[in-house]
Amino acid sequence: MKIRQRIRARTSPVAYVGRTLLALLALALVWYGLMLVLLAAKLSPDKVDAISRYRTAFDYFAGLQPGDVTSRVRLIAGLSGFAVFAVCCFLAWKELPRPYLARGDLSLLEDEQTTITVKPRAIERAAEAAVVEHPAVIGAAARYGEQLNVDIEVRRGRDLAQTMREAQLLVAEALSRLELPALPVSVTLAGFDRRRREIQ
């Protein structure tokens, strides 16, 4: 039996903030790697410092003394540190992949006394039966998830685009005929029967 269940993973749009941070780190690696190469190649340190401030930054941090940490600095460092902690924890949480099962029953009606659901295989069979009515289609395999994906195998290379549009329309009409809710229907060319074409 063909396994039709699929596990998908959602990515939060917030995850792109974390990627931006990584991109900034990568840019810093490239930039200061280049500065290291220039220094190692004995370019003037003053020129390298003028464009990158590597020496200025190092001297500033190397020269910090315990007395420089005033109450105001501590307050800023404490609040900023806590803000960084909270934001980075949130972003790291959003980075975690969240797998879920994409295929489930379609609920048509649900109240206190009645529940009407359609099993996903019924929707898939309806789509497959509709698509193979097309003369150019010799096989179909549908998969119902957040949308309806129909993989088709065709016997004719001519008018392929038209065949795929008509296949999509046939599925939409079948869903409508069965009074099922309109679903986004994706059609994918998954096979072409070359052998049959040559025999013909």
Partner 1 sequence: MLLLLKAIARLATFVLLIALAVLGLAAAVFSIQGDSRAVSLPRLAQHFQLPELRDVVGPYLDRLEADGPTAWVSVGAGAALIAAGLLLLAGVLMPRRERLVVLEEHDEARLAARRRPLAHVAAALAERERGVTRTKVRVRPARLGRGRLRVATYYSRGRSPEEIERRVSAAVEPLADAFRLRKRVRARQGERGKARVQ
Determine if 51 is a binding residue for partner 1 (CB under 8 A).
no
d(CA 130, CA 141): 11
Q: Least Å distance between CB 113 and partner 1?
A: 33
Q: Which is nearer to partner 1, 58 or 117 (CB)?
A: 58
Stretch that binds partner 1, among 12-20, 103-111, 116-124, 132-140 (CB under 8 A): 12-20
Determine if 26 is a binding residue for partner 1 (CB under 8 A).
yes
Stretch that binds partner 1, among 59-67, 103-111, 113-121, 127-135 (CB under 8 A): 59-67
Strand partners, 109: 116
143 near 124, Cβ under 8 Å?
Answer: yes
Question: Whose CA is closest to 175, among 116, 104, 127, 103?
Answer: 127
Among 3, 62, 109, 199, binds partner 1 (CB under 8 A): 62
Determine if 2 is a binding residue for partner 1 (CB under 8 A).
no
- Reading the block at residue 52, the tokens are 């990158």
Question: Whose CA is closest to 152, among 121, 177, 127?
Answer: 127
What track of x and - describes contact with partner 1 for positions 112 through 151 (by CB under 8 A)?
A: ----------------------------------xx----
**Residue type at 157 in one-letter notation:** G
Determine if 106 is a binding residue for partner 1 (CB under 8 A).
no
Question: Whose CA is closest to 131, among 99, 96, 166?
Answer: 166
Stretch that binds partner 1, among 37-45, 104-112, 113-121, 130-138 (CB under 8 A): 37-45
d(CA 30, CA 100): 38
- Apex 49 CA angle, 48 and 51, nearest 5: 70
Q: Least Å distance between CB 62 and partner 1?
A: 5
Among 40, 110, 111, 199, binds partner 1 (CB under 8 A): 40
142 near 119, Cβ under 8 Å?
Answer: no
CA 123 → CA 22, 41, 127, distances in Å?
43, 68, 6
Among 6, 8, 27, 117, binds partner 1 (CB under 8 A): 27
Q: Which is nearer to partner 1, 34 or 101 (CB)?
A: 34
Among 4, 12, 52, 95, binds partner 1 (CB under 8 A): 95
